[in-house]
Amino acid sequence: MGMAEIRISLPRWPYGLLGVSLALHAGLLLMVSGWVIGWQTDAPGIPEAFAEPPAFVQDEWEAPPPEPPEDMAPEPAADTASAAALPTLMMGDGGASGGNEYSSFVAAMPAAIGVAGNLLPESRAGGGAGAADGGGRVGKSLQGKITVGNIFNTRVESARLGVLLDVSSSAHPYLPLTVREIERHFGDAVIVLTYGCGMYERAGADGMYVREFGRCKPADAGAKNTLGQIAKAGGATGDLFKKFRARPGTYVLYAENCGHTYFGFKKLLDEKVDTVYWFADFRDKISNRVAGQLIKELQARGIKVIAHNFTGKPVPEEGEKIAQATGGSTIAKVPR
In a domain, 71, yes or no: no
In a domain, 261, yes or no: yes
Q: What is the pLDDT of residues 151-206, one digit of tens each?
A: 999 999 999 999 999 999 999 999 999 999 999 999 999 999 999 999 998 766 56
Rounded to whole angstroms, how far apart are CA atoms 237 and 226?
15
Q: Residue 35, Cβ neighbours under 10 Å: how many? A: 9
Per-residue confidence (pLDDT) for residue 310, from 0 to 100? 97
In a domain, 145, yes or no: yes
CATH of the domain at 235: 3.40.50
Q: What is the pLDDT of residues 16-50, one digit of tens each?
A: 666 667 777 677 777 766 655 554 545 444 444 43
For the chain, the domain total comes to 1
In a domain, 303, yes or no: yes
* Residue 191: its H or E element: strand 190-194
- Domain residues for the domain of 296 are 139-332
Rounded to whole angstroms, how far apart are CA atoms 161 and 304?
10
Q: What is the pTM of this model?
A: 0.62
For the chain, give the number of residues: 336
Identify the DSSP state of 299.
H
pLDDT over 80 at 279, yes or no: yes
Helix-strand-coil split of the chain, %, nearest 5: 35, 20, 50
Q: What is the pLDDT of residues 220-259, one digit of tens each?
A: 888 889 999 999 999 999 999 999 999 999 999 999 899 9
In a domain, 30, yes or no: no
In a domain, 122, yes or no: no
In a domain, 87, yes or no: no
In a domain, 121, yes or no: no
